[in-house]
Amino acid sequence: MPKSLPQVVRVPYSVLVYDKRAARYRAPSGRFLDPRTVRLTVEADIDATKARMESHASRVQSGQLDVREWRDLQAREVKHLHLANVAAIASQS
């Protein structure tokens, strides 16, 4: 029987909130963010996702995760990388 996935509490993908009407990102405070700040935040999100993916790989190599668990965790991380890529592109417009 496969191990159950570990309980992971994940913060929201990012602190960035996209305002469709204004076509800009807002901080949690509601103020607009400049494109450079958006880009730096997105890069930090990407770096954090990369670190988690590397950790998952190490855990499967050491036997702490089975392949099914690893695959599911990696799929979630790839989704977050995709969202980061979309945010990065939007911040350049």
Q: Work out the pLDDT band at 6, boundaries 50, 70, 90.
A: very low
Q: Is residue 84 a contact partner of residue 77, using CB atoms and an 8 Å limit?
A: no
Q: What is the C-alpha end-to-end distance of the chain, expressed in Å?
A: 49
Q: What is the pTM of this model?
A: 0.66
Q: Is residue 61 a contact partner of residue 44, using CB atoms and an 8 Å limit?
A: no
Q: Which helix (H) or strand (E) holds 70?
A: helix 67-92
59-76 core/surface letters (b: 16 or more CB in 10 A; e: else): bbeeeebeeebbeebeeb
pLDDT tens by residue, 25-80: 888 888 998 888 888 888 888 888 889 999 999 999 999 999 999 999 999 999 88
Domain boundaries in the chain? 17-92
